[in-house]
Structure 1
Amino acid sequence: MVGINWQWLGMIMIGGALGGMLRLAVSNALARLMGSRFPWGTLAVNLSAAAAIGLVAGMLLAPDLSARSLVWYMLVTGLLGGYSTVSSLSLQTLSLWQSGRHQAAIFNMGGTCLGGLMLLALGFWLGRALW
């Protein structure tokens, strides 16, 4: 059995708490700015998290994508994991679908998945170029 690294666990918890607060702030700000008819805040949070994870991966993991460090776990697992949200994406997409807004639901899910993948790749490329 592998022992628990309490320092790493503490850094993940701090990052997760900060990421969750940041997600709430960004989502609320965008809802006030753009209205709440479409979940722009969740879309923006998930896309920016994908880009940031790509950037961090490009900088910290190049050339070995299996390497992990305390910084990785704090930033990606903690901060960006707490910042991004699959559960809100899923619930909001279901809500759009059930309310008959099928195109909005498809755009929300597709835009998040495809846009996230593209931004992750772009962030990774930028991270490698900067590092």
Structure 2
Amino acid sequence: MNWLLVILGSAIGAPLRYLADRFIQARHDTLYPWGTFAVNASGSLVLGALTGAATAGAANSYLQLLIGTGFCGALTTYSTFSYETLRLAQTGARFYAAANVIASVITGLGAAFAGAALAQAIWA
């Protein structure tokens, strides 16, 4: 049963990541990987909210598997973030590479904390 929840969440998260990345990147004529940045930030927000809900007792282990492991695991992409950052650095766009690392880490942590705080405010 657990693996079915992870598969179901992944089956939604992975295509959503691809579509969101393509949609966002097509609207920005820049080297910066806005699509990957956006899916990672939104996934961090969702995972933070799920963590806050679980801490407050509002999200059971099945929901955590479906949304946290499956959906967020497939939506977010550390490997693409790493690859895009490396490619930026290799092609001489070192400012963009550094900005990608700094902005992604700060935004991801901020989104996770904001999601957790929002969930705590709702369910605590």
One-letter identity of the residue aligned with 2:61: S
**Structure 1 contact 93–108 (Cα < 8 Å) conserved:** yes
Question: Which residue number corresponds to residue 98 of structure 2?
Answer: 106
Counterparts of 1:46 and 1:94, CA distance in 2: 17
Gaps of 5+ in 1: 1-6
Question: Is the contact made by 1:46 and 1:84 (CA closer than 8 Å) also made in structure 2?
Answer: yes
Query: CA separation in 2, counterparts of 1:62 and 1:113?
Result: 26
TM-score of the superposed pair, with normalisation by structure 2: 0.93
Q: Does 1:94 align with 2:73?
A: no
Check the 8 A contact 2:31/2:96 in 1, yes or no.
Answer: no
Q: Which of 11, 31, 40 in structure 1 is aligned with 2:34?
A: 40
Q: 1:75 is aligned with what amino acid?
A: I
1:44-63 paired onto structure 2 within 5 Å: 44-62=38-56
Q: Is the 8 A contact 1:61 1:68 kept in 2?
A: no
Structure 2 residue aligned with 1:82: 74
Which whole-Å deviations, capped at 9, do the CAs of 1:58-96 have from their partners, x for residues lacking one?
112237xxx960110110100011000000000000000
Q: What secondary structure, in the 3-state scheme, does the structure 2 residue paired with 1:34 have?
A: coil
Runs of 4+ more than 4 Å apart = none
- Listed as ranges, the gaps of 5+ residues in structure 2 are none
